[in-house]
Amino acid sequence: MCGLLTFISARGEAHTQRDSIADALESLHHRGPDETGVEVVGTDVVFAHKRLSIIDVALSHEPLPYLDNRYLLTFNGEIYNYLELREELAATCGATFATAGDGEAILAGYHHWGEAVLDRLRGMFAFVIWDSQERRAFAARDPYGIKPLHYLHTRDGVYFASEKKALLPFASSAGAGDAGIDAANLSHYLTLQYVPEPRTLHRGIERIGSGECARYAPGERVLTRRYYRPKFRPTPTPEPEALYRRIQDTLRESVRIHMRSDVPVGAFLSSGIDSTAVVALAREFNPNILTFTVGYDVPGYSEIEVAQDSARQLDVTTIPTKIGPAEMMTALPKIVWHLDDPVADPALVPLYFVAQKAAEHVTVVLSGEGADEFFGGYTIYREPLSLATVHGLPAPVQKGLRAVSKVIPEGVKGKSFLDRGTTPIEARYYGNARMFTEDEKRRLIRAYDPSVRYTDVTAPLYAECRDLDDVTKMQYIDLYTWLRGDILVKADRMSMAHSLELRVPFLDRAVFEVAARVPVDLKLPPHSVETKFAMRRALEGVVPPAIVNRKKLGFPTPTRVWLRTEMYDWAHHILSTSGADKLLDLGYVRGLLDAHRRQDADHSRKIWTVLVFCIWHAIFVERSLDPGIARNESALLTKPVVGSMVS
């Protein structure tokens, strides 16, 4: 695990960037405080990294060489099947290894199998390989986007980095200076509550997408391609019990290999089935696993009591932490700094604090992200089933019902049902988060552009899954929007903020292959409110009975309550003083805040979305807010030598 920053010169002048690379690298110190390295390789490349030592602690220093320094690797992540890959490479290809780590399995696999090595890697990863013989780079990111990888193309060359903040010092030469905000992605953020891949809020800085790889040779352009596309294949089964056994067996195996580590492994534990299942299965391999949970002194929001009860039934220790509005307001600038781009999910805050607590005890934690997207866990996935009576009617009838819905006053029962039932899935579903509508954005954004629509993000995805049923289409959309834009960004950034590695056993290729075949009636059974039905049945006897059918909460936050009380003055001050008013009509948002305080309506999510952007703007654009991140000056692992690779 590490934070990486790599520069490949377009002119053979890599050494000129060495000092600036070393300086920018310190912004990634939290991702790897154990080792720091900056090395100039010949005239072409500067490798810089921050290492969090997890596997093969004594060796596997980066950049990791292979085949007499022909290949060099900088790598963020973990390859969980690295032992099996090393064995196969040695047996079938005659590969030899100088380390005991997983990084060398990537290099040997790349040498012997080429880019097809990506099809064999089981894990989370973002890496850059430099081939000094061919003078070209190969970069890749894991299939589901668990680990981040940004890049910036300038006239000097190409920079790759784990986090965008490390690229900002080099961005002005590419036209992505401090004020270079991408207006289209700001609009998308206000709709979706996150910035959709592959772009960012800074023009010129992009992301390698989930399941994508890239090639680059000095002086050329970065060429990306998608090497992995998840294929849902819902298949009716005459033997559901056999399917449930396969789900349980596959999850157990995934948890087993996700626990491979040379340092202590713990787990997050909330009140729901996803994290509880991970803990229950992990306990089979480590009965002494520590678990961590978070909550509040606000009725209806804390999961601590349920998590503690689950821990007692599983006979594991859980360590709780509680936070209040003061902690949330104090921590938010740090949280936004770590995010790079704003993500307006209030669940970031409890995740930040539970990761902070976990990092006091362990270096690695397991978590339950991905189960909902794989197995059909969101309540909104039931919508196509509830609308089937209308959606299945002939087109002329639907058209007439839609005309009727237009004359029904807002708030009257049945209007929303008719609207949604006569609207195609492609037009009504764009992911789990729905912040500001287009009409609201027209009021909010000072330079509103009506040509920017959420369908810019979703239309290509719907084209890829056009043959699937509507429920499974929603899962596919969420895999490429909500999961990688919100869920995995907050998981990576909030854990790495505390130098804690977070692993997600559900987001495993083998698990997906089983989940992809679950038929709709076993995800969301008719005449039931259950979600993830097949997964829940598969885990009976593994998780406590009270948890099997418990509704998902997922570390909820009481921002709705606090924005009316303890956080009102804080929010009002931000909205009254922010320089983001040049972009957004913050007077309009103050009106939402006051209406929320009067309890005229619940505007908490919209208000939070703008507050997070204002804080982001103050940190990264105005530079008027110091997030309070300590500046680290690290001793280098090795001394850089121009013209050769330091070993």
In a domain? residue 340: no
pLDDT above 90: residue 65: yes
Same domain, residue pair 292 and 357? yes
Percent of the chain exceeding pLDDT 70 equals: 95
Q: Rounded to whole angstroms, how far apart are CA atoms 458 and 478?
A: 10
Closest by Cα among 242, 346, 278 to 502? 278
In a domain? residue 331: no
Same domain, residue pair 156 and 273? no
Same domain, residue pair 392 and 270? no
Same domain, residue pair 368 and 395? no
CB 62 within 8 A of CB 49: yes
pLDDT above 80: residue 549: no
pLDDT, position 361: 97
pLDDT, position 557: 87
Same domain, residue pair 29 and 92? yes
Q: What residue type is assigned to position 397 of the chain?
A: V
Q: Which of 400-409, 415-424, 431-440, 574-583 has the highest mean pLDDT?
A: 574-583
pLDDT tens-place string over residues 106-125: 999 999 999 999 999 999 99
Q: Rounded to whole angstroms, how far apart are CA atoms 196 and 186?
A: 10
Q: Which of 548, 570, 590 is the last residue of a domain?
A: 548
Across residues 457-479, what is the average pLDDT?
Answer: 97
In a domain? residue 391: yes
Same domain, residue pair 210 and 91? yes
pLDDT, position 129: 98
> 76 vs 1, 5, 52, 162, 606, CA distance in Å?
5, 11, 9, 8, 34
> 222 vs 116, 207, 213, CA distance in Å?
19, 11, 10
pLDDT tens-place string over residues 269-322: 988 899 999 999 999 999 999 999 999 988 777 788 889 999 999 999 999 999
In a domain? residue 335: no
Q: How many domains does the chain have?
A: 4
Same domain, residue pair 387 and 373? no
User: Helix, strand or coil for residue 26?
Assistant: helix
Same domain, residue pair 395 and 364? no
In a domain? residue 208: yes
Same domain, residue pair 152 and 103? yes
Closest by Cα among 435, 254, 251 to 346? 435
Predicted model pTM: 0.94
pLDDT bracket for residue 431 (50, 70, 90): confident
**CATH assignment at residue 316:** 3.40.50.620
Across residues 178-194, what is the average pLDDT?
Answer: 90
Q: Which of 198, 226, 254 is the last residue of a domain?
A: 226
Q: What DSSP line would sit under 374-412, residue for residue?
A: HHT--GGGGHHHHTHHHHTS-HHHHHHHHHHHHHSPTT-
User: Helix, strand or coil for residue 471?
Assistant: helix
Which candidate in 2, 213, 465, 614 is catalytic? 2
pLDDT, position 587: 98
2 is catalytic: yes
In a domain? residue 247: yes
Same domain, residue pair 78 and 37? yes
Q: Rounded to whole angstroms, how far apart are CA atoms 311 and 616?
A: 37
Q: Which of 525, 548, 571 is the last residue of a domain?
A: 548
| Ordered strands of the 290-295 beta sheet | 317-322, 290-295, 265-268, 364-366, 501-503
Instruction: Give the Cα-Cα-Cα angle 182, 347, 439 (nearest 5 degrees).
Output: 45
Q: In the beta sheet, which residues pair with residue 41? A: 45
Same domain, residue pair 361 and 458? no
Same domain, residue pair 79 and 187? yes
- Strands in 403-539 per DSSP E: 501-503
Tell me the residue range of the domain where 492 lies. Answer: 240-322+348-377+479-548
In a domain? residue 332: no
Across residues 150-175, what is the average pLDDT?
Answer: 90
556 or 221, which is more confident?
A: 221
**CATH assignment at residue 150:** 3.60.20.10
Mean pLDDT (the chain, rounded): 92
H or E element that contains 213: strand 212-216
CB 266 within 8 A of CB 498: no
Q: Which residues of 545-562 are buried (b: 16+ CB within 10 A; e: fewer)?
A: eebbebebebbbbbbbbb
pLDDT above 70: residue 645: no
Farthest-apart Cα atoms in the chain, separation: 75
pLDDT above 70: residue 555: no
User: Helix, strand or coil for residue 194?
Assistant: coil
Structure tokens at 210: 């989930």
pLDDT, position 386: 86
In a domain? residue 639: no
pLDDT tens-place string over residues 80-109: 999 999 999 999 999 999 999 999 999 999
pLDDT, position 2: 87
